[in-house]
Structure 1
Amino acid sequence: MPVDEVIQDFRHRRFMEEGVRTVGGDTGMHARVRPIGTTLLIHATGSRSEFTRKPLDPGIDQIDITMVDRGEYSYLDDGRWHHVTSALMIAPSGLPHRVQFDREWEMTLLRVPRAMLLPYAPIIRDEIQLYPELTLFEGSVGTFARQLIVDDRAASGSEATAVERVIREMVGTLVQQRYGHDSGAGATVWDRALSAIRARATDPNLSPEQVARDVGCSLRQLQSILSRNDTSVAGEIRRERTRYARQLLRDSNADNLGIDEIARRSGFGSSSTLRRALGTLYERTPREIRQQPAGAD
């Protein structure tokens, strides 16, 4: 995938094509989008409006980091409107689904793959998280992102690679500062467990018992910590293997590999197990993943 791609502008018609539906009239929005590697940088402005948006494709596991540069808004959740004056929102992409603005507004949004954030913050809740103010560092991240969005110049290969690396580090640090200590004593165990799983997931003999030994705790303790976040050791092993398999399927250099070989390299016992895992996590078959356009990561 190219590190630096074409900047795009979104207005009412384009928003409608992307699944945004107004409650009445024009969306009143304009957005400018710049892809940087697997990250989307978005600067959006608008006026008074109310709209709904469809959730992103469930196969695309992304997190939105939204900085409110100007204005306030409300979102509908469980039948109740929540008025937001917070400067920062972190949430899975597609949340909230229904939003209302009562005045002119401006936002900067960074849409990043969840997998990119795992080394920085293993626990990212699947719900809306609001923070009242931006830190000095977070304000700098927003300023850097907006400068990249408004600048029409194309980056050279080396420059684009450097920009992508900086964006990754900045976003990772931002999330780490907000989430890194949210889970108490269990966060350290969780972090070590995910690191152990990522390091050895492609080993078909990796078991929950082995992960617990690597972490230095009992399997019961480890299962208890992961269950607080609605997951399990076996589930995380399967998730990491599935992500690795997806990377191979999306890698043009691996186009000559059959599904049986992809399954073997990913640590799965069979291609049928791999197919089920891909269907569960990404709701796609191996063929559909291979046929996805480059920008669909």
Structure 2
Amino acid sequence: MGQGNVREISAAELIAHGVRAVGARSPLHALERTPGPVILLSLHGITTELAIDTTTAHPEHAVFAFVDAAGLSTKTPDGPWMPLEGGVVLAAPGVTHHVRCEGAWRVTAAYVPRSALGAFVAALPTVAWILTERRPLDRAMQAFIEQILDTDDPATSIERYAIEHLIVEMSGAILLDRVGAASGQRSPRAALRDRAVAVIAQQCGDPALNPTLVAREVQSSLRQLQLVFAEAENSVAGEIRHQRARLAKSLLIDSRFDVLSIEQISQRAGFHSPMSLRRALDDDYGTTPRALRAHRSEERETAVR
């Protein structure tokens, strides 16, 4: 199947994603979809022990997993088995655990590049979180992944981009909402800045986005928000420009968007003109739109050889 389509994968292929069934007595069913750097998985079976090590299989990815099982217990490689309620697993550094699923069980997971989550929080957590309470966004993300994996219709390049973009946005929002609040390590001012950065990352493609609208979204005065960004030696307008440059770069290095002109790329990234795009890319990355595309083409030709 082509990139981005759903396919059933074998136990050997599942190992490549850091999941291995230990002494399985019943079949394990797994579906995979990779719309881009994001990896979507669905696993289900009956009474299975799983050895999970995504940190080795995908060292650059965070894991967002939704676990439903009649009975569940987990342990680290050298620790004892501990009972656990099914819930939401948020693991920015990945997962390294043994898990025992009793009865009928199902795991729905998204592996998301950690680099994409940096737009939502200032610092990713260094430990995994297992949360038993499911909030509306948790359930919505799980349902979205399951729906994407339940249809084997081929996905167009735009659909693959949309799926990847939505998964990253939902993952970032869950991370900001759940882990940021649970850790209690962020000051109120830093938390306000994190929320504003998340809003900007999600809405930077809208050319109407400006500091006043960002302040309204995070329920802050513009002056207060500007002071919070100044403490981090940044500005709200500067962050908007940076996020637009980040979005434009991701579009320019993605072959699925080669059909778009530089002007169309600038519009999709929220810039008012191609000149504004060029200046932002030069300031943030020291490059140009054409140079990004040319470099990507050279890498592809080298790989083919």
Using the size of structure 1 for normalisation, the TM-score is 0.58
Matched, 1:166 2:158: no
1:23–1:52 Cα contact (<8 Å) kept: yes
Q: How does 1:270-289 map to 2 (within 5 A)?
A: none
Structure 2 partner of 1:43: 42
Contact 2:75 2:81 in 1 (8 A): yes
* CA contact 2:190–2:228 (8 Å) conserved in 1: no
Q: Which amino acid letter does the alignment assign opposite residue 31 of structure 1?
A: A
The match for 1:106 is 106
Distance in 2 separating the partners of 1:69 and 1:19: 19
SS at match of 1:80: coil
2:278 corresponds to: none
TM superposition shift of 1:188? 4.0
Question: For each residue in 1:177-232, what CA deviation from the matched residue of structure 2 results, as whole angstroms up to 9, or x when unmatched?
Answer: 11333344437448869x7xxxxxxxxxxxxxxxxx9965599xxxxxxxxxxxxx
In structure 2, what residue type is equivalent to 1:85? E
Q: What stretches of structure 2 of length at least 5 have no aligned partner?
A: 198-226, 234-245, 256-283, 287-298
- In structure 2, relative to structure 1, the CA distance for the partners of 1:134 and 1:266 (3 Å cut) is same
The amino acid that maps onto 1:170 is M
Superposition deviation, residue 130 in structure 1: 1.3
Give me the CA root mean square deviation: 4.0
Matches of 1:252 and 1:173 in 2, distance apart? 24
CA separation of 1:121 and 1:187: change in aligned 2, threshold 3 A: farther
TM-superposed deviation, 1:160: 3.2
Query: SS state of the match for residue 147, structure 2?
Result: helix
User: Match of 1:125?
Assistant: 125
SS at match of 1:98: strand
Q: Which residues of structure 1 form unaligned runs of 5+?
A: 196-212, 220-243, 254-264, 268-289
2:9 matches 1:10: yes
Matches of 1:18 and 1:89 in 2, distance apart?
A: 16
Comparing 81-90 and 119-128, the one that deviates more: 119-128
- Letter of the 2:30 partner, please give it: A
**Structure 1 contact 69–87 (Cα < 8 Å) conserved:** yes
8 Å contact kept, 1:48–1:103 = yes
Q: Which amino acid counterpart does residue 90 of structure 1 have in structure 2?
A: L
How far apart, in 1, do the equivalents of 2:135 and 2:191 lie?
26
Aligned AA for 1:99?
V
CA distance in 1, matches of 2:80, 2:172: 32
Identity, in percent, stands at 21
Measured in 2, the distance between the counterparts of 1:31 and 1:59 equals 17
